[in-house]
Amino acid sequence: MTSGELESPQPRRAAYRQSVLARSLEVDFGSREVTFKVGDCELGKFWSYKYERCVPCTECKERQYARSKCTSYQDTVCEWCMVVFPRKNDDFIEKCESIMDAEEVFESERQLNTRIGARIVDGNQPEHTFWNFDESSTQGLLPDDSSEEFEVEVNEQKCENLDA
């Protein structure tokens, strides 16, 4: 090499590697090595930008299901089983179907108890009818005029006391 010639730099090398779990970028420029890794996490963890490290995925509590599963860059999104519009994915079916079935059994049992109660209280009702507590509790009662009668009695006693 002559003094006028510039030394050619070492070949630049850049490599991009993508895996199922995460992405990383490694760059080697000359003698200096630059490595930049983001979220190279193992299964069951995700990359947290807040903590700048891999963090364990959240596990949904009882009566919850994973609306969105944990990925390399996002934590699990949990939702309650009894929400109005659930996302009926595999996790919902696995964790919430039995709860939904139990709710239906509870409702059926409540209706059964209502029918039994109707037969005990009023044997004239057919077995398939439901007992309406509000209607049954007021049947056969006289109109509520007891307050009027009470006022009349009090006024009569006052008049008798004044006459005496």
What mean pLDDT value characterizes the chain? 68
Specify whether the backbone of 39 is left (phi greater than 0), alpha (psi in -120 to 50) or beta: left
Distance of CA 162 to the CA centre of its chain: 71
Structure tokens at 26: 């490694």
pLDDT in tens, 30-44: 655 555 555 478 999
pTM > 0.75: yes or no: no
What pLDDT, on the 0 to 100 scale, is given for residue 24?
A: 47
- Strand, coil or helix: 36: strand
What pLDDT, on the 0 to 100 scale, is given for residue 110?
A: 64
Do 38 and 24 touch, CB atoms closer than 8 A? yes
Q: For residue 77, count other CB atoms closer than 10 A to its CB.
A: 13
88 pLDDT above the threshold of 80:
yes
pLDDT in tens, 6-16: 554 544 444 44
Do 131 and 125 touch, CB atoms closer than 8 A? yes
In the chain, where the domains are located: 56-137
The label of the residue with tokens 């969105």 reads: 68
Q: Which of 7, 36, 42, 5 is nearest to 21 (CA)?
A: 42
66 pLDDT above the threshold of 70:
yes
- Strand, coil or helix: 79: strand
Which DSSP state fits 86?
-
